[in-house]
Amino acid sequence: MAFAMKRVYDAPEASDGYRVLVDRLWPRGVSKERAELDDWAKDVAPSPELRTEWHHSGDPDRFDEFAARYRDELDANPATEPLLAAGRAHDRVTLLYGARDQQVNHATVLLDWLAAHGAAVE
């Protein structure tokens, strides 16, 4: 099993394997057909409170604080188990996210969290 990530706005590819949207809100301008999702794991996204606080701050210098709080949420979140199970069931799972910044976003934190919990990441 291996997890990877990419923007939901990028074209789907056969190499994506099992495609999972990990945003709580549906991305603007993307139809369900275009997204070609296998699953929408919105419950593994940051809580509405944390997401709102992070988006309103707009300060990339606070990313470490956001990431620590999000990891705490993931540690207590039972919705992570189905995602880990998807990783065990498929050769490749691609986490899809809508954020513009490819480095400073919740999907990077989730990918690191999965790696810390025994999942292979690319």
3-class secondary-structure state, position 121: strand
Q: What would the pLDDT profile of 99-116 be if each residue is shown by its tens digit?
A: 998 999 999 999 999 999
Q: What is the pTM of this model?
A: 0.93
What is the predicted pLDDT for the residue at 75?
97
Q: Residue 7: what are its φ and ψ, rounded to 5°?
A: -70, 140
What is the predicted pLDDT for the residue at 56?
74
Pairing of strands 18-21, 93-97: parallel
**Mean pLDDT along residues 75-92:** 96
What is the predicted pLDDT for the residue at 81?
96
Q: What would the pLDDT profile of 10-35 be if each residue is shown by its tens digit?
A: 999 999 999 999 999 999 999 999 99
Token look-up 């794991």 returns: 41
Q: What would the pLDDT profile of 43-64 be if each residue is shown by its tens digit?
A: 999 999 999 888 777 677 889 9
The answer to whether the beta carbons of residues 73 and 53 sit under 8 Å apart is no
Q: Residue 94: what are its φ and ψ, rounded to 5°?
A: -105, 120
Amino acid at 90: H
What is the predicted pLDDT for the residue at 60?
79
3-class secondary-structure state, position 7: strand
State how far Cα 93 lies from the chain centre: 11
State how far Cα 2 lies from the chain centre: 14
